Amino acid sequence: MQEVLLFSSVIAPVILSLIELIKRTFNLKKNFIPLVSVSIGLLIGAMAYPFTDLDLVMRLWAGALAGLSGTGLFELAKKTKEGYTKGKQP
């Protein structure tokens, strides 16, 4: 399980960057962003077989976790930045 968490923490910034690129390129509804993020995470997890010794199922789990965390990290950073901009403390 430690390998899955380590792998997901490595690919989470990649997924976060791709999601931000997709959000700026296409006009997506906010409801679909987590679904797209998890889908991209699953895709990257499946394609990462040369970089890890994990089985396919474990890579898919890591990709899904990274996709969900990538969306959550962006929203957390966005809300924190908005809070500081408005003069509120987090």
pLDDT digits (tens, 9 = 90+) for 23-80: 889 988 888 888 889 899 999 999 988 888 889 999 999 999 898 887 776 666 666 6
pLDDT of amino acid 43: 93
Assign 9 a pLDDT band (cuts: 50, 70, 90): confident
Interatomic CA distance for residues 52 and 85, integer angstroms: 41
Say if residue 22's pLDDT is above 60: yes
Residue 90 inside a domain? The answer is no
Print the domain residue range for 62: 2-85
Residue 48 inside a domain? The answer is yes
The domain tally of the chain equals: 1
Residue 27, CA atoms < 13 Å, CB-side half-sphere = 0
If DSSP codes are grouped into helix, strand and coil, which group holds residue 65?
helix
**CA 22 vs CA 33, 59, 83, 86: distances in Å:** 9, 23, 25, 27
Assign 20 a pLDDT band (cuts: 50, 70, 90): confident
Interatomic CA distance for residues 79 and 73, integer angstroms: 10
Residue 23 inside a domain? The answer is yes
Residue 11 inside a domain? The answer is yes
